Amino acid sequence: MADWIGIGRRARRCYGFDEVALVPGTVTVNPSEVDTTFILGKHKFPVPIMAASMDGVVDVNFAIAMGKLGGIAVLNLDGIQTRYENPEEILKQIASATPEEATKLVQSLYENNKFPVKEKLIAKRVEEIKKAKVPAVVSCIPQNAERFAKIAAEAGVDVFIVQSTVATVRHIATEYKVLDIEKFCKSAKVPVIVGNVVTYDMTLEILEAGASGILVGIGPGAACTSRGVLGIGVPQITATVDCCAAREYFFKRRGKYVPMITDGGMRIGGEICKAFAAGSDAVMVGSAFAKAEEAPGRGYHWGMATSHANLPRGTRIRVGTSGTLKEILMGPARVDDGSQNLVGALKTSMGSLGARNIKEMHDVEIILAPSIQTEGKVFQIGQRVGMGK
């Protein structure tokens, strides 16, 4: 499993999306007849894709549009939508900033002392989403979870996510009160998703604490710089396989199936399909949705930790605007690079692999295939079209 990297030290080889491929089996299924339903607690979502809780991706209008299409959009309770009554001017400022100014500007606009999160806006945003008769799903950091969850619950929230760069049950700190994840999960009246993790052991501990779902992924997001700033992370295929192995062990021992959600690193349909093959029950995507006409970022996307006052671990990137949310999620695709009609790509892949539902997708064959992106693609690469972009 591991190779020597020096005297007395071994390192394990891990794999990302570009290094593997999926192998068709002996049966194929009509793509229109496969079942992509994602189940979380009492909720059933026909589209197992979540729009990430980033301010350049999700606002109230985007959450409503995503919900009406059968998917999930996660609103960031630590962000612009809950700090400013009218966030449009703030979003415009971020989009207009030069690359050199962007991080400093974001830090200043998210500064807690000057622009704290307003509790009334938490309730207001949740109520606005619920008024459209779609699920309201929100996220915040552990330090704010107890306070924000109570407000969100009273407003009618459906799912609550506690999200940090690295999630653990045993967090050590003396400067602030540490969230008791087990107590929080048990007292919550709605499903609680916890993230982010990349290891078997940590997944198992959070499962034992009572989480309803787990986010998998540290640093793979398009706008995230945690891997460069902190040097931590595990490529998403290996991280997903390892965490899903813990889910299976927990299920056999406790009889409770808890969904895994691969979070980040997926730009196109093929990578989303590989995440499901690695064991995911749903995926969380940011940059692909930041390109939607409905996204509040105006063609820009920035990480959740870009605003950190002392050590930013994200950056603002330009992704452009490629089409409507419906085109990106459901098609028809107007581009040939796999960044649109993500649900169509998943269904077609499942049909080609003979997987009738997401759980059957977990059993398809995965192979190591370092040439999968380049084999036979010399013209695409040379002309920077299709898979050569």
Just list the catalytic residues: 224, 318
> Using CA atoms in the order 52, 53, 55, 56, what is the torsion angle rounded to 10 degrees?
0
Distance between alpha carbon 241 and the CA centroid of its chain, in Å?
16
3-state secondary structure of 215: strand
Alpha carbon distance 40, 60 (integer Å): 21
Alpha carbon distance 54, 131 (integer Å): 22
Strand partners, 323: 292
3-state secondary structure of 4: strand
Alpha carbon distance 307, 313 (integer Å): 8
Residues 6+ apart with CB under 8 A from 72: 45, 47, 49, 50, 51, 66, 135, 137, 159, 282
Question: Exposed, middle or buried, 124 (CB in 10 Å: 0-12/13-18/19+)?
Answer: middle
